[in-house]
Amino acid sequence: MVGRAALSNLFAIVVAAVAWPALMLQYWLILWSGPVLQVTVRYFSFFTILSNLLVALVATAVVTGGDWRPLKALRSARVRGLAALSITVTWLVYMVILQAQWHPMGPQLIADRAVHYVVPALYVFWWMALQDHGTLAWSDVRRWLAFPLVFAVWTLVRGAVVHEYPYPFMNVDELGYGQVLIHSLVVGALFVLLGAVYVAIDRRLGRRDMP
């Protein structure tokens, strides 16, 4: 019988095999919208891309193995938990707020559904069902906030220069800093709430897995 560790490694291949092509397809689609450098910066300015990239890197690190420090860091419980949290927020924000605001077609629809639905579903299932648990701490919820905070600062700084924002609810030119700050605090609260839920789940699953 195949053990859970072996199943986890096999599922990591599935996650990586979906996440990387989805990211490459999305990059190929956006590549035709302007100069390469400008488009590449815009591509990496979407939280959707960053969260999917984190998932892809975590899955690749698990598949690759090895003792190289960056790979070991990506396989750590804290980073795996951050990936689960971030990709869940990506799914929720898109489903509740953004999906109704545009209607992709053709290859863009494939990329859209992959990065917003398929990759989140695969990774969260992998994280809950097949990864090891029991080592996350409540302080990780606070540490995880650094990821969206850096993203928010980058978005506002870049937006002030190029007047371009990745999401309508962060568009300072249309909404003003006050409203964007409120929206950012709501998303930050979502990170805290879901982060606490995921730590609680990890601790519960850790007790379940104890011999």
- Rounded CA separation 126/10 (Å): 10
| DSSP SS3 for 114 | helix
Tokens of 177: 């800093």
User: Residue 181's CB: how many other CB atoms inside 10 A?
Assistant: 14
- Rounded CA separation 159/81 (Å): 29
Q: What is the pLDDT of residue 210?
A: 58
Q: What is the pLDDT of residue 133?
A: 93
For residue 83, CA distances in Å to 62, 75, 166 come to 13, 11, 20
pLDDT in tens, 19-65: 999 999 999 999 988 899 999 999 999 999 999 999 999 999 999 98
Angle subtended at Cα 52 by Cα 106 and Cα 14, rounded to the nearest 5 degrees:
85
Q: Which residues of the chain have pLDDT under 70?
A: 1-2, 209-211
For residue 93, CA distances in Å to 4, 43, 48, 52, 186 come to 32, 18, 10, 14, 11
- Rounded CA separation 47/37 (Å): 18
Tokens of 109: 């629809």
Q: What is the pLDDT of residue 11?
A: 95
Q: What is the pLDDT of residue 158?
A: 97
Q: What is the pLDDT of residue 2?
A: 57
Question: What pTM, to 2 d.p., does this model score?
Answer: 0.94
- Rounded CA separation 68/171 (Å): 40
Which one, of 73, 112, 106, lies nearest residue 90 by Cα?
112
